[in-house]
Structure 1
Amino acid sequence: NPYLSLFGTGFFDFIGANGGKYTKELAIKFSQQQYQKVKHTGMYRCVRPEMIPYSACYGDALYVDAVLKYYQPGSVVSGGGGNPGSGGSSGSKVADVGRQWIGRSTYVFGGGRNTNDIARGIFDCSSFVRWAFEQVGLYTSPIGAVSTETLNRIGTKVSANDMKPGDVIFFDTYKHDGHVGIVIDKNTFIGCQTNKGVSIEDLNNPYWKKVFSGHVRRF
């Protein structure tokens, strides 16, 4: 649901208390109010520079308007605007953006949920995926609330045989969908690994083949 991806469930209550119908103006107002509550933490920055003058830097106040033209009631958002043959809304861009952290990042469970961690290259698997998509303009969840459980509910599920660069791939490691990464091609993915930090992994490796159950999503 694009409204849920925008700010989380609190936005539903805010809409209900302000006429019951989504408008861009309501999204900006909610973003302004929430940003005032959290800006002292230093964890939030404006995803869209044009929102800086409004101090509407919580979430992405323009996200819904950007995706509603691809949204149909009863379905989930499947990212749009990408080139044919590319996964999601950003294709290979989101698969490539994280390469800067290879060899200079650290895996910490629960890491990557504030700007200080991110500046030092500290992530876990889900916060890395969230960060990568944010760099190409797609807001998937609040910085402090991302998990594999939030990521495995958005976008559209696609067949593993049809996965393309930029798709999101899940693995059943310590639990169902316990690990997540971003597809580079049919043989490799990039993600933040427990013992390596951000790295590119071979999907033909026996370990990844063992824990991959076929769950791939397109944002």
Structure 2
Amino acid sequence: MIKVEYVAQTDQAIDCGIAGIAMLVKCYRPKVSYGEIVSSLSLPCTFSYFPGSLASQATWLWDEDYRFLAELYGLRYISSPHQGNATDEHYEEYLQEIKNYVDRDIPIMVGGWDLYYDEFYRTRLEAWGMGPGQTGHNIIVVGYGRDGIYYLDPGAVVNKRDNVGHVTYLQKYEAFRLAVTSFPGVGKLYYCAYENIAEHYWGKRRSR
């Protein structure tokens, strides 16, 4: 597993991308705080002050934001070349690329991850009358094995999935495939990551 400092999102529905990208940045720049990242993006520091629709507009991040953080902190931004494609061939390449990055100790943020295919969230969604393809999330992939991928959930604490957050969860490969291919539009097969390009080397993060 790749060791990643856990950052919790502060709102149940909005800032999983900000918390997720903060985890990636802190792998290489551990002294950078969540608050500094929020300020760098000129985002409100407390998202719960904003009503739903306005909060979504104020806190939704795009590739341009992730690239900006890469330039700011001396990192190289990596994104999926398969975004928006859900064919079997694209998925197999997508999954292999994620595994290759993990083998190099590079954690991956997977976006457009359909909450419906996670056992914890599915029960909630069905209680609210929601089904597949209606709600996406960001997770941080930190490992993989024979049965599936291992990930951190930025929403674990705020959604009361766990009290501490830095718990690694397993999602089996078939459920992962459905989770990353069912979200409509460009949300399919999305991932992003950072690599260190600055001179200072922050050390390996994989626990042996």
- TM-score by length of structure 2 reads 0.39
- TM-score by length of structure 1 reads 0.37
Between the two structures, name the one with larger relative contact order (CA 8 Å, sep ≥ 6): 2
Larger Rg: 1
